[in-house]
């Protein structure tokens, strides 16, 4: 009995030492994982904050154009059912976000259509983007106001995301080089719209 105890106590110190080393290693590993997870979460939060703080593109910056517009039937641009802003480069573009449920949009509807008819042959393209709107309601709205310029739904909210709009109506006037010349929040008024178009078509 004594021999057994003596033998065990003789073997104990190295075993305990090994166990302690193993524990220390596992603790180090756990610490590494925890800090890794904390850093990953902080990174994600930071990335989210940076994205959330993106603001609407302003006058003077290149207009976002990483999207394609799938036009409503009967509202194509130059007989193209799908087009991008790149296709329209060289033209002045009036990009107008609207919705059939938007009361303020109705205020500017006649003015936009009237301006389109006046400037369409002078290298100006009007583009309507229906924001968060059902297709049937959008088409009914276009018909009601006799709108004839190209119009498309904002599929997947891709276009409104690019332009970081905060509501409708919002209008971006883009020059021939693809740079934003003016941003109008709320209904467009005639003097501002015509003033910008007159300036941009001669550039």
Partner 1 sequence: MRALRFYTLALLLLLLGLAITVQAQEPVTDDEVNEIAKDLFCPVCENTPLDTCPTQACQDWRDEIRQMLTEGRSEAEIQDYFVSRYGARVLSAPPREGFNWIVWILPVAAVVIGAVVFGRYLLTLQDSKDTEGSTIDVAQSTAPVPPPAADDDDYLSRVEKEVREG
Residues that bind partner 1 (CB under 8 A): 23, 26-27, 30, 33-34, 37, 41, 44, 99-101, 132-134, 137, 153-158, 160-161, 167
Question: How far is it, in rounded angstroms, from Cα 24 to Cα 164?
Answer: 51
Give the nearer residue to partner 1 in terms of CB position, either 26 or 84: 26
Smallest separation (angstroms) from partner 1 to the CB of 94: 23
CB of 15 to partner 1, least distance (A): 13
- CB nearer partner 1, residue 128 or residue 153: 153
Q: Closest distance between partner 1 and the C-beta of residue 17, in Å?
A: 12
d(CA 155, CA 134): 11
Indicate the residue among 43 and 90 with the shorter CB distance to partner 1: 43
What are the start-end ranges of the H helices in the chain?
2-52, 103-119, 135-144, 158-163, 190-201
Distance CA 166, CA 169 (A): 9
* Residue with Cβ nearer partner 1 (30 or 144): 30
State the minimum distance, in angstroms, from the CB of residue 171 to partner 1.
18
Rounded Cα–Cα distance for residues 180 and 183 (Å)? 7
Tell me the C-alpha distance between 108 and 102, whole Å: 11
**Which class for 131: exposed (0-12), middle (13-18), buried (19 or more C-beta within 10 A)?**
buried
């Amino acid at each position: 009995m004594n021999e057994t105890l003596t033998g065990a106590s003789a073997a104990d110190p190295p075993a305990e030492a090994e166990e302690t080393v193993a524990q220390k290693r596992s603790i180090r590993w756990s610490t590494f994982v925890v800090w890794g997870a904390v850093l990953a979460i902080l990174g994600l939060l930071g990335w989210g904050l940076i994205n959330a703080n993106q603001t609407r593109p302003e006058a003077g910056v290149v207009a976002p154009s990483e999207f394609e517009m799938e036009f409503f039937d009967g509202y194509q641009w130059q007989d193209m059912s799908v087009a991008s802003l790149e296709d329209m480069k060289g033209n002045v573009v009036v990009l107008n976000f609207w919705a059939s449920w938007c009361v303020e949009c109705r205020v500017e509807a006649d003015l936009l259509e009237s301006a389109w008819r006046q400037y369409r042959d002078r290298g100006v393209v009007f583009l309507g983007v229906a924001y968060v709107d059902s297709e049937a309601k959008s088409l009914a709205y276009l018909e009601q106001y006799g709108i004839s310029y190209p119009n498309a739904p904002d599929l997947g909210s891709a276009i409104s995301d690019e332009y970081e709009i905060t509501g409708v109506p919002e209008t971006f006037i883009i020059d021939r080089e693809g740079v934003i010349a003016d941003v109008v929040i709320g209904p467009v008024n005639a003097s501002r719209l015509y003033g910008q178009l007159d300036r941009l078509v001669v550039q």
